[in-house]
Amino acid sequence: GSSQEESQFEEFEQIDFLGDRHVRFFQRTLQVLPERYASLETTRLTIIFFALSGLDVLDALDVIDRNTMIEWIYSLQVLPTEDQANLSRCGFRGSSHIGIPYSTKGPGVLHPYDSGHVAMTYTGLCSLLILGDDLSRVNKQACLAGLRALQLEDGSFYAVPEGSENDIRFIYCAASICYILDDWSGMDIQKAIEYIRGSLSYDSGFGQGAGRESHGGWTYCAIASLCLMGRLEEALSQRELDRIRRWCIMRQQSGFHGRPNKPVDTCYSFWVGATLELLDVFQYTNFDKNRRFILSTQDRLVGGFAKWPDSHPDPLHAYLGLKVHPALNITQRAFQHVQQLQQTWRGSTGSCSRQH
């Protein structure tokens, strides 16, 4: 009846996008984090990335001091020592939690337990790009050496050279690093593709590795990696791609969930939505229902988005509720910046990038 229509209209009017609140949310993220985030200290750079890229999407990077931020990120670079003995440990670290003295230039300081972390190198590079930096102070060869040291025989990657769990997430980080640095000598692509294919499950979603349950996040890592490598249609047949599309399309309930019979969660609007975009079928999603769900998780007071309505907002979900470039997970603007940088690099060396 018409009263039903009216209340629906009211509901729609109320659910508006509170850009300013989100800007403030991200600003606070860049200052102090609440106690419950203590366990994220070792991965602080990823939180910074969510906040910076979030501000970028909202076109609000001018609320922060870019130069200070850039310096801080460079202070997290694990640089080669004088004798270059630590090359296989280079990259970016997550924060200062190990206690390395602050420094933004080399040579590196030898510390037996200091090393880059593949996800920090990825988010560190992205953060620099977002801030408009030209990556000239990144020791690219050292980063790539550090990356090579992380890949296993089966094609997957550790996060750190000391060892950790190994799975498809870190393949995505590695592929992003190689893509940004325009140099695929950082990884054995063929092995990585084999690991990715081996992670394809019976229902045509991807698990974290062989035999593991399909999941929206790992499916994103698989597809985005193959796209960055330029090997999507080589690695997967048309039938496989169609089945993967089907699995992903069935993840939309209102927003998206990450696995069947799980509740919808804001972050999967990105993981699954971006996958569908990379597979050229984003038009199969229902844009309105997705948007309405995401906005329902918006925190009207504090800003940011949460996993679910009536939950605490956090930087990850706040960021993934916004729209970005599907393969690299940064804004179009930042993506164009890296493309321009790559043109410059290729121009100056007089040859094209060292691709497979």
Partner 1 sequence: MHGRVKVKSTAQQEEEKRKEREKKLKVYLAARDACFSKRKEGIWDEGALQVTQQLLSSNPDFGTLWNYRRETLMHLETVRDEDEVQKIYEAELSFLESCLKVNPKSYGSWHHRGWVSNRLPRPDWARELGLCDRCLSLDDRNFHCWDYRRVVVKMSGVPVDQELAFTDRLIGSNFSNYSSWHYRSTLLPLLHPESPEEPAPPPRRASSSPPPSPQSRSHRVCEEQLLKEYELVQNAFFTDPNDQSAWFYYRWLLGRAEREEIISCMFVSREEERVSVAFSRAVNSAGLLLVLDGQPQRVEWRSVHPRFKHSPVWICDLAPGTISDVTNEHNLTVHWMEKHTHRDCALYTGRTESWCRDSATDQELFRSDLSVEKTSVLQSELQSCNQLRELEPLNKWCLLTIILLMRALDPLGYEKETLAHFQTLEVSRAKTRPLDAEQEVGSLTSSFSFFLFSPSRQEVDSMRSAYYGDLCSKFMIENTILKMEYAEVRVFSISDKSLTTLCHLDQLLLVTHINLSSNQLHRLPPQFAMLQCLEVLEANNNSIENLEGVYHLPKLEEVLLKNNKISTLADLEPLASCPKLKRLDLRGNPVTQVANVEAELTALLPSVVDLLL
How far is C-alpha 97 from the chain's CA centre? 22
Among 1, 101, 163, 350, binds partner 1 (CB under 8 A): 163
User: Closer to partner 1 at the Cβ: 91 or 128?
Assistant: 91
Residues numbered 195-254 forming contacts with partner 1, rule: CB under 8 A: 197-198, 200-204, 208, 210-215, 233-240, 243, 247, 249-250, 252
**CA-CA distances (angstroms) from residue 24 to 55, 70, 318?**
9, 20, 12
SS3 99: coil
Among 17, 72, 308, 345, binds partner 1 (CB under 8 A): 308
In sequence order, the β-bridge partners of residue 334 are: none
Give the C-alpha separation, 306 to 213, whole Å. 25
Residues numbered 22-61 forming contacts with partner 1, rule: CB under 8 A: 35-43
CA angle 319, 325, 330 (to 5 degrees): 50
For 99, how many CA atoms within 13 A lie in the half-sphere containing its CB? 3
Please report whether residue 259 would count as binding partner 1 according to CB under 8 A.
Answer: yes
Q: Which stretch binds partner 1 (CB under 8 A): 13-21, 24-32, 68-76, 260-268?
A: 260-268
Q: Which stretch binds partner 1 (CB under 8 A): 10-18, 80-88, 132-140, 281-289?
A: 281-289
Burial of residue 17, with CB atoms counted within 10 A of its CB: 0-12 exposed, 13-18 middle, 19 or more buried? middle
Give the nearest distance from C-beta 349 to partner 1 in angstroms: 24
Give the C-alpha separation, 321 to 341, whole Å. 28
Please report whether residue 286 would count as binding partner 1 according to CB under 8 A.
Answer: yes
Task: Give the residues lining the site for partner 1 (CB under 8 A).
Answer: 35-43, 97-99, 112-113, 159-160, 162-165, 190, 193-194, 197-198, 200-204, 208, 210-215, 233-240, 243, 247, 249-250, 252, 259-262, 281, 283-284, 286, 289, 306-308, 310-312, 314-316
